[in-house]
Amino acid sequence: MAADGNAGWQKYGPAIVGCTVIAAAIAIIELLIRVDLISRFVMPMPSEIAVSFERIIVEENIPRRFLLTAGECLGAGILVTLVGISLGALLHRLPLLRQATETWVGALAAAPTVLMYPLFMVIFGRNATTIIMMGFAAGLAPVILKTVEGLSGARRVLINVGRSFNLTDRQLFWKILLPAALPTIFVGIRLGLIFALINVVGVEFLINFGGLGQLVSELAERYDLPGTYATICFVILISVLFFMAMEKAERWLRPGA
Amino acid sequence: MAETGRLTATSARTIPGIGTVTLLRIAIIAVALLVWELLSASGWLYKDVVPSLIAIAKALFNLLTTRVMACRADIALTDAIHLRWELWMPEFYCHLGRTAREIGLALFIGGGLGLLIGLVLGANRFLSRAFEPIVYYLGPTPKIIFFPLMIMWFGLGPGSKIAMGAISCFFPVALSAAAGVRQIDKVLIRVGKSFRANAWQTTTKIYLPAMRAAIINGLRLGLGIALIGTLLAETKLSNFGIGSLIIQAYSLFDMPRMYATLIVLFVLAIGANSLISRMGHIDPIRSR
């Protein structure tokens, strides 16, 4: 019995402690605000935030905003995937071009591309295209780099088998290289989509246009503190669920990883 | 002799290869600049959206050299030094200095806390299982949405921008440090124990030197993200800093100046990233 209890604690203990500490922190904040040690004009009570969830979902039309943000992420994701894989395949096919430009793509990954949003606003206007293009610009580099890595890492024996069947270059790419590289490419797509999501919500907030990011900005400007906090919690929840779904998909594609 | 021959042959093949790559790079840059200039002259796009390269070069020169009395509120020195500083220093460097200070403080606070939390999480399996998933899943959330809260907590001044940078860089540094602790060779820790090293000695003599690469990689990622967090906050609400310069150029529709500011910013960001990578012998392309 004691051994069972110990095993149960080993398994669930950390999660229980983690959740308890978070719950205790929320309770302490509630208490500190109630006794006026933290100003309620700076931070609303967690109970007020919890109550305001229903209000923002109904009054601020969260489902529509969520769909808008999700649509922008989807648009950026499709662009990132198509353009990223195509450019990665091109760099793999032309080794000289790869040698010349791979460091540039790496530099693009390290560059703060999101700061180009005023430039994109001038080019595309203050609309969804700017948001989608910003997501695309932020997510492109990891997809290119991982596509090149995946295609270059295809096992030699698989390529030799393809050649022994006299496959053309096109057949070799579609039937051997791409399927072999898919798990690695997916890592790039996952990173690209996460960067795209971060940038889409961020640019929505910065240019005050679109879905969930705009709602945070709007509620903060209205000084609706419980609503602002609740929307931020909602965005965090969406991001975490998206991240977990991407991880699950990656594990399914790369069972051994 | 055969080995020598092979080595010579390889180097003989490599040197022209380097030349070809460099030539190709120069050709790509030249074509890109030519296409840009043609686009600019063609009038196909809105006027000034694609300014000529000469206009951008002029704006870059003006940005780096024009002296404007603009930093008065920002420099806490005595009046005499203050005035000399204002007359001598071009406006851009005052903004750059302000942004650099904000990013430096953000990295110090967020990175320091991240390192501390990462060391604790990496060294203790129970705490790691209890709290690391929270850090791990909060890491990739869009931090800029916290900016309204940072304004409430730290005000409209540099405090809110530093806080944005600190929040942004905390997560990659903490996760990298925790992973770095777990990668330390257990033999090193046992050696420390056999010498009866206390917690401080174990941390400073074993943990930190053994996880140098992980810490530097975390700081590299942290710097990049702190830079983005701080500058985005500046673009949203500030009169000082590089972010505010970008948004000022946007408001005035001074596109050459905006391009010039972005060019300088990208060069500085990529340069800082490469510098930190070299310190830790990290490949910046592969380690993201």
Q: Which residues contact B130 (CB under 8 A, 6 or more apart)?
A: A13, A14, A15, A17, A18, A21
Instruction: Tell me the one-letter amino acid at A97.
Output: L
Q: Give residue-wise pLDDT tens across range B51-103.
A: 899 999 999 999 888 776 555 544 454 555 555 555 567 788 888 989 999 99
Please give the pLDDT value at position B34. Answer: 93
* CATH class name, domain B72-279: mainly alpha
User: Which of B145, B270, B278 best tests the A interface by mutation, with the highest count of A CBs <10 A?
Assistant: B145
Decide if B130 and A21 are in contact by the 8 Å CB cutoff.
Answer: yes
Residue B110 — pLDDT band, cuts 50, 70, 90? Answer: very high
Q: Which of B93, B113, B89, B97 is nearest to B163 (CA)?
A: B113
User: Which of A38, A115, A121, A123 best tests the B interface by mutation, with the highest count of B CBs <10 A?
Assistant: A115
Task: Give the number of other CB atoms < 10 A from CB of residue A37.
Answer: 9
Please give the pLDDT value at position A91. Answer: 93
Task: Give the number of other CB atoms < 10 A from CB of residue B182.
Answer: 14
Separation in Å, CA of A34 to nearest CA in chain B: 18
From the number of C-beta atoms within 10 Å of its C-beta (0-12, 13-18, 19+), residue B87 rates as exposed
Assess contact for A204 and A69: CB atoms under 8 A.
yes
Please give the pLDDT value at position A144. Answer: 94
What sign results for the dihedral spanned by CA atoms B16, B20, B22, B26?
Answer: positive
Residue B147 — pLDDT band, cuts 50, 70, 90? Answer: very high
Decide if B288 and A109 are in contact by the 8 Å CB cutoff.
Answer: yes
- For chain A, the structural domain boundaries read 2-42, 53-253
As a whole number, the mean pLDDT across chain B is: 82
Low-confidence ranges of chain A (pLDDT < 50): none
Separation in Å, CA of A191 to nearest CA in chain B: 9
The answer to whether residue A202 neighbours chain B at the CB level (below 8 Å) is yes
How many CA atoms lie within 13 Å of B16's alpha carbon, on the beta-carbon side? 4
Mean pLDDT along residues B183-197: 87
**Can you state the percent helix, strand and coil of chain A, rounding each to 5?**
85, 0, 15
Decide if B224 and A112 are in contact by the 8 Å CB cutoff.
Answer: yes
- In whole angstroms, give the CA distance from residue B196 to residue B205: 12
Size of interface A-B (CB pairs under 8 A): 153
Residues of A in contact with B247 (CB under 8 A): 118
Architecture of the domain whose range is A53-253: Orthogonal Bundle (1.10)
Question: Which of B129, B231, B285 has its CB closest to that of A103?
Answer: B285
Tokens of A26: 């929320």
Please give the pLDDT value at position B282. Answer: 59
Residues of A in contact with B228 (CB under 8 A): 112, 114-115
The answer to whether residue B150 neighbours chain A at the CB level (below 8 Å) is no
Please give the pLDDT value at position B10. Answer: 42
- For chain B, the structural domain boundaries read 2-50, 72-279
Q: Give residue-wise pLDDT tens across range A130-168.
A: 999 999 999 999 999 999 999 998 888 988 998 898 888
Is it the case that residue B45 has pLDDT exceeding 80? Answer: no
Assess contact for B96 and B227: CB atoms under 8 A.
no
At how many degrees (to 10) do helices B125-138 and A225-253 cross? Answer: 110
Decide if B152 and A100 are in contact by the 8 Å CB cutoff.
Answer: no
